[in-house]
Chains A and B, each alone.
Chain A
Amino acid sequence: MTFLAILILLIAHYFSGSGLLYLFRVKLKPAMQITLSIICGIVILSLVPLFLELAFIPLTLTSIAAGIAVICVLLNLTKLANIKSVLSDSKWRFPSIKAYEIPFFVLFSIMFFSSLWRSFYLPSNARDMLSGPEVIADYAVKEHSLINSVLTVNLESTNNHLKPPFILGLQVIYKFFGIEFGGVWVGFMSVCFCIFLYNVLREKMHGVIAGLLLLLFIALPEVYAYSYMMLFDYSNMVLYFLGVYFMLRYFKSGLQSEIYFSAVLFGFSTIIRLETLVLIAMMVPLLWLYSYQKKAAIKNVVLQSFAIMAVSGFFYFLWMNIFLNYYMPGLITVESQLNKNLIDLSPLFKRFSEMNSELLFGRLEEPLWAHFIKVFLAVMVLDLVISRKMSRESLNWLYALAVVYFGLPILGYLLPLMDLNNTTKRALFKLMPIALLLMANTGILIKLSAKLLDWENGNEENRVGR
């Protein structure tokens, strides 16, 4: 029964996400389309318990299942209306796998299996979960409401019950479906993301190099730990990266739908961690720069910028100003979380310095990131020495990297509760896939990929990727 419940939820994630992708006319390779649909579907369904609560509908298995069904149908209405063209467009064929990809795929499968099993089997032991989403979800199942007896317990030692509804919603759903510790969605999220990321790398890289790059990413010790352990940061990294990826994709394709889809993905990352809003705001100038260079119509730029901030702002507003204000009143105010002395910039410099000296390049570098940062820096320096220039796309990824690198100390300065060794450390996850894509856009790796492909094809073709 448990397996069947997991399968039903996985299918529901896929259908809801796939409907969203269709609405935004996102068309990718099947492996990317499926994994991105599941990732989006995980976030979409996480909102079901919140919307039921907002509508004062008691949380039961029936109401949750009906909510999921309604969301799936609503998101797929357009698709259903055009079912003939959808079916004729979808010529499914099994993706071709090259022999040299097999060793990596076998290895990745072992890693994915390890993550999936543990995300299912192990109960959460993270304090942030146990004293927040986990306990509220547990009692939501018993008491049919997110506002339950947990709020009558002494909560002086924690603010975790006020954290955004992403994990809470998913845990409620999975527990209602009979999956005792929820959690399996973490495994789905990480596996889907790695498959998606591999395919993104394959757009530019030869399979051998893409495999090695993904291996470097999966073998980030701290990040891998959260591929099965429930917490906000892995999912936040995934959705933020996807937001950046589709923004930069728009810069290449010029397709309006991609920048609006990027806005939705950024919004999803905000509902996972609200402070991401600041980083998203810092990404908007890149859009302005692109639009200026392309001499885009000002009306379009304003609309796009507004969409990016409005979707994220909506999710922020929904939780902070609606739910916490009217449904769980008096528990938190934004003002109480903010730095009261913004004139004093010393905490900003201190955080920036500690982030570098402790987390990125200091004693914690190897335990957290293994040799990833060293490899990244080596590739970048080599590229600067050999290629001596960066492509427009590389510069865009560099900008995205700088947003996280400089944005996190700013967040630490604005929000004193965002400490170095927990919040900032895990927020640094967002740097990693961006750094990976920056490497994948370096001249030296692109040339190496092209040479490998030429050799593989006996110089018959000059094309990179499949």
Chain B
Amino acid sequence: MKSTRPLLLAVLSLVIILMFFRVELYKTWFRDRVFGPIENISEQLTYMDPHERRMARLQNSYFISYNVAEYLRTNKKDSNALILLPPTDYMKESGVDFMVPEPAVFYLYTGMKSVAANNKGADKTNFAIVPQQGANLQVIELNDQNRPQILAQFRKYIKTN
């Protein structure tokens, strides 16, 4: 009789686990947070390139930043650009899905330096990312004439404490 008792306790363990995951909160959690990601692995294995993995995880925040930097490097031949980053709220209002990274994160994504409109050095920026009609983005070159207007526009969306 003694030898079958651990097996009966194994059945008890199984029942406990099944009952545990009958609780809606745990069932949803296991499906979404544990098993769901395992199901994605076969697809993830086809995207092992770090750039693809970053795009999938960080989405537009990374993708747009990366493309802006590529554009500046290839079209403007300017690797030392100082880019004026728009406020995320401005992007939202313009219908652009772009969670704007802060300068340190932009540097991680692109290797290029940037500032926000309320940062020191904003008046020395030479490029800006601005929304266009149709929820698109454009990289424009800044000069002493257009920079103050763009800075003023961006600063409207920056919350001050």
Contacts and interface: CB of A to CB of B under 8 A. Distances in A.
Given A99-B9, A157-B103, A371-B25, A123 B120 contact: no
Contacts of A113: 38
Interface size class of B (residues with CB under 8 A): 35 or more
A337 B77 CA distance: 42
Interface in B15-66: 16-17, 20, 23, 25-26, 29-30, 33-35, 37-38, 41, 44, 50, 53-54, 57-58
B37 A455 contact: no
A370 B120 contact: no
Contacts of A161: 104
A211 interface: yes
Contact of B102 (A101, A107, A125, A131): A131
Contacts, number: 139
Contact of B50 (A130, A180, A458): A180
A212 B113 CA distance: 51
Contact of A130 (B14, B34, B104): B104
Interface residues of A, number: 55
Given A103-B10, A123-B57, A131-B102, 15 more contacts: A98-B6, A100-B6, A101-B13, A153-B103, A153-B114, A156-B116, A157-B103, A158-B104, A160-B104, A180-B50, A208-B9, A219-B30, A221-B33, A224-B29, A456-B6
10 contacts: A122-B57, A127-B105, A138-B108, A150-B104, A153-B114, A154-B114, A219-B26, A221-B29, A457-B5, A458-B5
A132 B108 CA distance: 10
B43 to A, nearest CB: 11
Which of A99, A154, A158, A212 has most B Cβ within 10 Å? A154
A181 B58 contact: no
B16 A123 contact: no
B2 A208 contact: no
A80 to B, nearest CB: 39
A419 to B, nearest CB: 13
Contacts of A460: 2
A457 B6 CA distance: 9
Interface of B: 1-2, 5-7, 9-10, 12-14, 16-17, 20, 23, 25-26, 29-30, 33-35, 37-38, 41, 44, 50, 53-54, 57-58, 101-105, 107-108, 113-116, 119-121
A225 interface: yes
Report whether over half of chain B's contact residues are helix, strand or loop; otherwise say mixed. Answer: helix
Interface of A: 98-104, 107, 110-111, 113-114, 117-118, 121-123, 125, 127, 130-132, 134-135, 138, 150, 152-158, 160-161, 180-181, 207-208, 211-212, 215, 219, 221, 224-225, 366, 370-371, 452, 455-458, 460
A117 B37 contact: yes
Which of B17, B44, B107 has most A Cβ within 10 Å? B107
B25 A135 contact: no
Nearest to A137: B108
A135 B108 contact: yes
Given A156-B119, A370-B25, A110 B9 contact: no
